Amino acid sequence: MGFFSFTQEIAIDLGTANTVIICNDQVVVDEPSVVAISVADNKMVAVGRKAQQMIGKGDTIVRTVRPLKDGVIADFYACEMMIKGMIKMIPHHRQLFNPSIRMVVCVPSGSTEVEIRAVRDSSDHAGGRDVYMIYEPMAAAIGIGIDVESPEGCMIVDIGGGTTEIAVISLGGIVANKSIRTAGDALNQDIIEYMGRMHNLRIDEPTAERIKINVGSALTELDESEAPEEYVVVGPSRVTALPLHIPVSYQEISHCMEKSIAKIETAVLQALEITPPELYADIVKNGIFLTGGGALLRGLAKRLTDKITIQVHVADDPLHAVARGTGVALKNVNNFGFLIR
Ligand code: ADP
Ligand code: MG
């Protein structure tokens, strides 16, 4: 991009939990998908990490919104503000010249036309002049280096905040897919509910997230090298409102998330059921790839491998796989026939 060029090219992974922007193959923005809006005048006061820190800290003054729910836009106004705010965070973004922006944005594979339209409108309003879209599992596969246009089939399981998307890809298309609304957020809800029911402890989403990261596990028995120490959760008692200090182990957190993890397992099996046999054989040979933040859950790949008896691999840097693939698509807008205009 020369000095006098007025076109900026960006790839956006607009996730329910995190938004990642890639420019010239570099991750330039990686922020939680949250905006904070002033209740008094409905203006955006913060976006990303700064907005996330305001969650639950004063809803009558500043309202925090996650504009995406279950992978699709739930609040248009907030989403537009969020995209604009994140674009402004790109280092050296030329605000003065109001450059025209070429964008590739990803959308969940199960998106309806209306949902795709919503992403396009938000991107247009945020300054995109030349907007393309790509299905998320396709982007994830490209991001982990798979040749999506080859006849060889591959299976991607992308576990994000709102949805788990499972897709079989071959010849530049999604041949089979299954999407469920059970993913990272559902696990956090399981933890909130469990801490209340079992320990009388009242906690919010950010604490549940910390518990999951520190002692979350898909297995009740982990190898010693992987097993985390107990984690002490502090919060108010639901009964007395006095502070409680509750140590939790990975075993109990694993139990409380069991039902949700079993749903993810079942969804993978259902996707395999609808996979054409020739592609199934490729998947058995190459394994299944886990992407998205949920791929980082301790013991998950092992649990799925044991259950499905096909090797399940965690992609390198799973939180950025979709964004990286979207970045590759940005450079190939004229070659990749599967992009949506
Ligand atoms: P999205 O694409 O929906 O924005 P991401 O792929 O960014 O989602 O993943 C975010 C999800 O991954 C969140 O629900 C978060 O809690 C979860 N996550 C991130 N790190 C871990 C981890 N180490 N263990 C378990 N879950 C994790
Ligand atoms: Mg995602």
CA distance 30 to 317: 13
R_g (Cα) of the chain, nearest Å: 21
Backbone angles phi, psi at 237, to 5 degrees: -70, 140
CA distance 120 to 123: 5
By DSSP bridging, strand 100-107 and strand 44-47 are: unpaired
CA distance 106 to 20: 11
Q: Of all atoms in ligand 1, which is nearest to the CA of residue 18? A: 4
pLDDT at 60: 87
* Ligand with smallest separation from the Cα of 70: 1
Measured CA to CA in angstroms, residue 137 lies from 76, 127, 238 at distances of 23, 25, 41
Q: Would you give the distance in Å from CA 281 to the centre of its chain?
A: 28
143 Cβ inside 6 Å of ligand 1: no
**Residue 213 token pair:** 């990261």
Residue nearest (by alpha carbon) to ligand 1 atom 12: 293
What is the full per-residue pLDDT of the chain (341 aa) written as tens digits?
Answer: 445 556 789 999 999 999 999 999 999 999 999 999 999 999 999 999 999 999 888 788 999 999 998 888 999 899 999 999 999 999 877 665 566 789 999 998 878 888 899 899 989 888 888 999 999 999 999 999 999 999 999 999 999 999 999 999 999 999 999 999 999 999 999 999 999 999 999 999 999 999 999 999 999 999 999 999 999 999 999 999 999 999 999 999 999 999 999 999 999 999 999 999 999 999 999 999 999 999 999 999 999 999 999 999 999 999 999 999 999 999 999 999 999 98
Rounded distance from Cα 215 to ligand 1 centre (Å): 14
Q: Would you give the distance in Å from CA 184 to the centre of its chain?
A: 8
108 Cβ inside 6 Å of ligand 1: no
CB 144 within 8 A of CB 321: yes
pLDDT at 125: 87
299 Cβ inside 6 Å of ligand 1: no
Rounded distance from Cα 293 to ligand 1 centre (Å): 3
Q: Which of 29, 156, 209, 319 to mutate to test the pocket of ligand 1 (most atoms within 8 A of CB)?
A: 319
